[in-house]
Amino acid sequence: MSRTRWMLAALLAAFALSGCNTVQGFGKDVSKAGDELEEAAEEAKN
């Protein structure tokens, strides 16, 4: 995984962990982070 992707993943993880106050909020944050990673993977593939 490239350095940029690691940085993005770390930032998203930090955002998800610091921004959620409930289990439901955490699930939404994790889902959003997964969507962002999927988009990054698709862009890297093309």
Q: Please state, in angstroms and rounded to a whole number, the distance separating the CA atoms of residues 21 and 1.
A: 30
The total number of structural domains that make up the chain:
1
Each of the 46 residues of the chain gets a pLDDT tens digit; together they read 588 888 888 888 887 777 656 667 778 888 988 998 899 888 888 7
Q: Is residue 26 within 8 Å of 20, Cβ to Cβ? A: yes
Segments forming the whole domain that contains residue 23: 3-45
pLDDT at 26: 76
Q: Are the beta carbons of 36 and 8 closer than 8 angstroms?
A: yes
- How wide is the angle at C-alpha 43 spanned by C-alphas 3 and 10, nearest 5°? 35
Cα 18–chain centre separation = 13
Give the pTM.
0.47
